[in-house]
Amino acid sequence: MLRTLRSVLRFRPLEVRAADRRLRAAANVADYRNLARRRLPRGVFDYVDGGAEDELSLRRNTAAFQRLEFRPRVLCDVSAVDTSTTLLGRRLPVPIVLAPTGFTRIVTPGGELDVARAAARAGLPYTLSTMATRSIEQVAAVSDGPKWFQVYVWRDRGLAKDMLARAAAAGYEAIVLTVDTAVLGRRERDVRHGFTLPPKVGLGTLLDGALHPGWTWNFVRSEPITFANVAGTAGMAGIDGSSAVTLADYINGQFDPSLSWRDLDWFRGQWDRHIVLKGVQTVEDARIAADSAVGAIALSNHGGRQLDGAPPPLELVAEVAAAVGDRAEIICDGGVRRGSDVVKAIALGARACMIGRAYLYGLAVAGEPGVDSVLEMLAADMRRTMSLTGCQSVADLDPRLVRWRPAGP
Ligand code: FNR
């Protein structure tokens, strides 16, 4: 008996660093989400994880991927699987772009810099948000990988012009115009918590902080958080993140709700590199976008954080791909939690997927190595899925590979 027991007993080497132990405990993005829920104060986790109103679009974004199933082919010689593709003229090892997420340093002090470094290491574009807590230049200083800059349009057009000039000077390859945020969606988890940026410290926050000492210790030791792209800009005192405001007050006060298709020309006058239009949610608008000669259309409902009841991007991909043809590349943004999700979106006609929460969960759990780990998992998933479906390269991913499940689980 002892001999049998000895032959099967294997102890994993003890991980000394807590972050390494957490990394080892995660087998997928859902595990990272669970670990992030434990590690972050409730208000911070809900800011990342939550969606608008009843969170219908948030749930449907992920559910749509589950409704699509594979039609795997066998005996296809998958000894050499190639997951690479091109997006806006650039070769990428996998068809993934890191989506812009505002206020990333609320998750962990490394924030945008950690994410940008991990993206560069993986050879994937990182999109810096207008609402970032590190500046255009700070991110460029740590990342020689492909960088995109996401633009919300300020009522003060001079500020937008200035940011575009800074992004061009710092070597950003594309701007991402987010067009689904005429006003901010009602994120009711944030409303309930009275969530402000930066967080206001009341009794509830103190208690929440005490229950999450790892996050709190990092937060109080790091420099104060500001909206780094506007901090110090003339006329921006009080709205640069140095005083606590709700995101809704901030956005509704500062961003221009009169933005229309005509404004695309203004952007083209200021920016001569690629333009990505993020937040397109109908075939009609995708057609107009393609006619307006944008480089890529990101089908997106902002991860279910804006209009609740907006369609899941995956459900739009095939129809938009048919309408747009090769006039613009299509990016599917929202609900991606596995590499197999990326394979599904590409099969329907997307060129790439954007991911938001997936990398934020990794960041919350283990900082930069957490983001590395999520990106590696998605790439490995994608390679495995392609092997199991009989696809040697991204060119093999076409609509015949998938079908919508009629009903059932
Ligand atoms: C976002 N998103 C976002 N989009 C944008 O254009 N500008 C921004 O500043 C932000 N900020 C932001 C913060 C947080 C915490 C999240 C989770 C998301 C939306 C983001 O770019 C992307 O569209 C979604 O995250 C995609 O959905 P998944 O991948 O999170 O399901």
Q: From the CA of 115, how far away is ligand 1's center (Å)?
A: 14
398 C-alpha to ligand 1 centroid (Å): 27
**Ligand 1 centroid to 79 CA: how many Å?**
36
Nearest CA to ligand 1 atom 25: 356
Nearest atom within ligand 1 for CA of residue 302 = 23
**Cα(347)–Cα(179) distance, rounded to whole angstroms?**
26
pLDDT beyond 90 at 1? no
**Other C-beta atoms within 10 Å of 17: how many?**
10
Q: Per residue in 91-103, pLDDT tens? A: 999 999 999 999 9
Nearest CA to ligand 1 atom 6: 178
CA of 32 to the centre of ligand 1 (A): 17
- Helix-helix angle 42-49:29-39, to 10 degrees: 150
53-99 per-position pLDDT tens digit: 999 999 999 999 999 999 999 999 999 999 999 999 999 999 999 99
b vs e for 302-311, b when ≥16 Cβ sit within 10 Å of the residue's Cβ?
Answer: bbbbbbbebb
Closest CA to 33 of 9, 49, 47: 49
Query: What is the best residue among 60, 101, 306, 361 to mutate for testing ligand 1's pocket, by most ligand atoms within 8 Å of CB?
Result: 101
Beta bridge partners of 352: 331
Tokens 């994120």 belong to which residue? 187
How many residues does this entry show for the chain?
409
Kindly report the number of other CB atoms within 10 A of residue 203's CB atom.
7
Inter-CA distances, 158 with 124, 161, 233, 235, 261, Å? 30, 5, 11, 11, 19
Identify whether the C-beta of residue 313 lies closer than 8 Å to the C-beta of residue 99.
no
Apex CA 58: angle with CA 53 and CA 59, to 5°? 110
Beta strand spans in 264-351 (E) = 274-280, 296-300, 329-333
Atom of ligand 1 nearest to the CA of 150: 6
φ and ψ of 373, to 5 deg: -65, -45
DSSP-derived secondary structure letter, 238: T
121 CB-near residues (< 8 Å, 6+ apart) = 145, 372
Homologous superfamily of 56-184+223-395: Aldolase class I (3.20.20.70)
Distance from Cα 76 to the centre of ligand 1, integer Å? 38
* pLDDT tens-digit map of 347-401: 999 999 999 999 999 999 999 999 999 999 999 999 999 999 999 999 999 999 9
- Bridge partner residues of 353 (DSSP): 96, 332
Q: Kindly list the domain boundaries of the chain, sorted by start residue.
A: 56-184+223-395
* Residue 408 pLDDT: 67
Taking a C-beta distance cutoff of 8 angstroms, is the pair 276, 295 a contact? yes
Mutate to test the pocket of ligand 1, among 47, 302, 354 (most ligand atoms within 8 A of CB): 302
User: Is the pLDDT at 4 greater than 60, yes or no?
Assistant: yes
> Collapsing DSSP states into helix, strand and coil, what is residue 353?
strand
Give the contacts of 385 (CB within 8 A, at least 6 positions apart).
70, 339, 340, 343
Minimum CA distance residue for ligand 1 atom 16:
101
Beta strands at 90-92 and 85-87: parallel, antiparallel or unpaired: antiparallel
Residues with CB under 6 A from ligand 1: 47-48, 61, 99-102, 129, 131, 150, 178, 278, 300, 302-303, 305, 333-336, 354-358
pLDDT of 198 reads: 66
Catalytic residue among 193, 212, 274, 302: 302
Please state the φ and ψ torsions of residue 21, each to the nearest 5 degrees: -65, -40
Element (H, E) at 354: strand 352-355
Contacts of 258 (CB under 8 A, 6+ apart): none
Question: What's the pLDDT score for residue 240?
Answer: 61
Per-residue pLDDT tens digits for 123-160: 999 999 999 999 999 999 999 999 999 998 878 888 89
Dump pLDDT digits (tens) for 221-242: 998 888 898 876 655 555 565 5
**How high is the pLDDT of residue 409?**
65
274 is catalytic: no
Position in ligand 1 atom list of the atom nearest CA 58: 31
Cα–Cα dist 125/128, whole Å: 10
305 CA to middle of ligand 1, Å? 8
Determine the 3-state secondary structure of 157 from DSSP. helix
Rounded CA gap, 362 and 115, in Å? 10
Other Cβ atoms within 10 Å of 404 Cβ, number: 12
SS3 at position 389: helix
Name the residue at shortest CA distance from atom 5 of ligand 1.
Answer: 100
> Atom 10 in ligand 1: which residue has the minimum CA distance?
101
388 φ, ψ to 5°?
-75, -15
| The pair of three-digit structure tokens given for residue 91, joined into one six-digit string | 């070769």
Q: What's the CA-to-centroid distance between 353 and ligand 1, angstroms?
A: 13
Q: Which ligand 1 atom sits nearest the alpha carbon of residue 100?
A: 21
* Model confidence at 180: pLDDT above 60: yes
Q: Which of 80, 254, 256, 271 is nearest to 161 (CA)?
A: 271
**pLDDT (tens digit, 9 = 90+) per residue, 294-334?**
999 999 999 999 999 999 999 999 999 999 999 999 999 99
Nearest CA to ligand 1 atom 19: 302
- Ligand 1 atom index nearest CA of 304: 27
pLDDT given at position 201: 65
Q: Which of 1-5, 16-20, 283-287, 383-387 has the lowest mean pLDDT?
A: 1-5
338, 381 contact by CB (below 8 A):
yes
* Per-residue pLDDT at 28: 98
Q: What is the mean pLDDT of residues 173-192?
A: 94
DSSP string of 295-317? SEEEEE-GGGTSSTTPPPHHHHH
Query: Looking at per-residue confidence, does 240 or 219 come out higher?
Result: 219
Residue 187, classed as helix, strand or coil, is: coil
Distance of alpha carbon 82 from alpha carbon 90, whole angstroms:
16
Minimum-distance ligand 1 atom for the alpha carbon of 99: 21
pLDDT at 8: 79
How close is the Cα of 408 to the center of ligand 1, in Å?
Answer: 30
Pairing of strands 352-355, 329-333: parallel
pLDDT at residue 20, as a whole number: 87
